[in-house]
Amino acid sequence: MRASLLFSSSLSLSAAMFACSGSDGSAPGVPTTTGTTIPVDDAGTTTSDDASGPAEPASKGCTVTPAGPGSLAKRQTTAASKKRTYHVSVPASAKAKSPMPVVLVLHGAGDTHAEALADWYTVSAKMPNALAVYPQAIPRTRSDGSGGNVTRWDLSGDEDLAFFDAMLADLADSYCVDRGRVFVTGFSSGGNFSQHLACNRHEDVKGMAVVSGPGPFSDTCNGAVPVWMTHDADDAMLPIKDARASRDFWATANGCTKSTWSAVPGRPECKSNTSCPSKEPLVYCETSGIGHDVPAFAVAAIGDFFSAL
């Protein structure tokens, strides 16, 4: 880990990189609903009802018929001279010339079973026309050499940033991807790495949502990004003070001028910073009594947050 953390000098990288799946190993259930598609015209660009700006260019993959609609496909790419694996859940509606949003779901340390993650971390249920992507971390020790070879994300270097770059390029070549709507989300160390990505790949990340995963783990960030966070006050693995510091960091990064918070309708645990620019919203939810686990409302709420961006 680098000597300084931009958002909090007190956060322990060892604790963050150790964090894994739910505190009792269980996967909470979440409700599901539907989403929308984004059309593409014959020129290969996405169409939009918003006349205020140009449409995002369609990816190279828009010229081919997508393989495996309705399936979970295993794919490989090379990044930082290493073979890397990820899985893609291809929506049944996938077709050429219809650009799809991308939702990257990042697992906790040691919890790399893509099929299981796809079954319970169902953000794509709110976005059924999105490509849901499940990248796989590789075994590595913590930055101080401790912790053993556990599948965990690189929070202090560029190895997994290179994986993200290679994966996004591979997806855009193989599927009709809307590069303007790439979202990242994750639990625990997957949330930590989501923050690392949002900080270092702002130009590629439309929105970030994390559960029990404070951050970012970088000395500098390159721009604002819409943020949704939830953390439990009784989390013994990743302390609540670090989540609050992360919340405050993003308030500054997003240009929120005051610490003015308004309750989110129907969700008393969640508050939105009303002083943030409309294009860079910040929502922070704080629960109690759950510990290091995923609140039942979180995954569906993340899907709603992404769908609104």
pLDDT tens digits, 43-90: 333 333 343 444 455 678 898 888 888 889 999 999 999 999 999 999
The one-letter amino acid at 186: G
Distance CA 104, CA 115 (A): 14
Residue 58 to residues 33, 87, 157, 184, 254: CA-CA distances in angstroms? 26, 22, 31, 20, 28
Residue with tokens 């300084």: 4
Residue 70, token pair as written in the block: 């309705």
Looking at every residue in the chain, the average pLDDT score rounds to 82
The confidence score (pLDDT) of residue 10 equals 38
Distance CA 61, CA 278 (A): 31
The confidence score (pLDDT) of residue 24 equals 34
Tens of pLDDT, residues 121-168: 998 789 999 999 999 999 987 677 666 788 999 988 899 999 999 999
Mean pLDDT of 8-35: 37
- Domains located in the chain, CATH noted: 13-19+64-307 (3.40.50.1820)
Which distant-in-sequence residues (6+ apart) come within 8 Å of 5 by Cβ? 11, 216, 217
Distance CA 130, CA 210 (A): 18
Residue with tokens 């129907």: 266
Which of 34-43, 62-71, 193-202, 236-245 is least confident? 34-43
Distance CA 240, CA 238 (A): 7
Residue 122, token pair as written in the block: 């169902």
pLDDT bin (cut points 50, 70, 90) of residue 27 is very low
Phi-psi group of 231: left, alpha or beta (phi > 0 → left; psi -120 to 50 → alpha; rest → beta): beta
Residue 245, token pair as written in the block: 């510091």
Distance CA 35, CA 23 (A): 31
Is the pLDDT reported for residue 3 higher than 80?
no
Q: Could you tell me where the DSSP H helices lie in the chain?
A: 13-18, 114-120, 159-174, 189-200, 240-253, 298-307
Please list the residues that pair with 273 across neighbouring strands: 261
Q: How many CB atoms lie within 10 A of CB 81?
A: 7
Which distant-in-sequence residues (6+ apart) come within 8 Å of 278 by Cβ? none
Q: What is the DSSP-derived secondary structure letter of residue 59?
A: P
Question: How distant is the alpha carbon of residue 272 from its chain centre?
Answer: 19
Mean pLDDT of 236-254: 96
- Tell me the pTM: 0.82
pLDDT bin (cut points 50, 70, 90) of residue 15 is very low
Distance CA 74, CA 67 (A): 12
Residue with tokens 């976005």: 127
The confidence score (pLDDT) of residue 16 equals 45
Mean pLDDT of 175-190: 95
Asked whether 191 and 107 are in contact (CB, 8 A), the reply is no
Question: How distant is the alpha carbon of residue 271 from its chain centre?
Answer: 20
Is the pLDDT reported for residue 11 higher than 60?
no
Please list the residues that pair with 285 across neighbouring strands: 230, 270
The one-letter amino acid at 161: L
Which of 194-203, 217-226, 280-289, 290-299 is least confident? 217-226
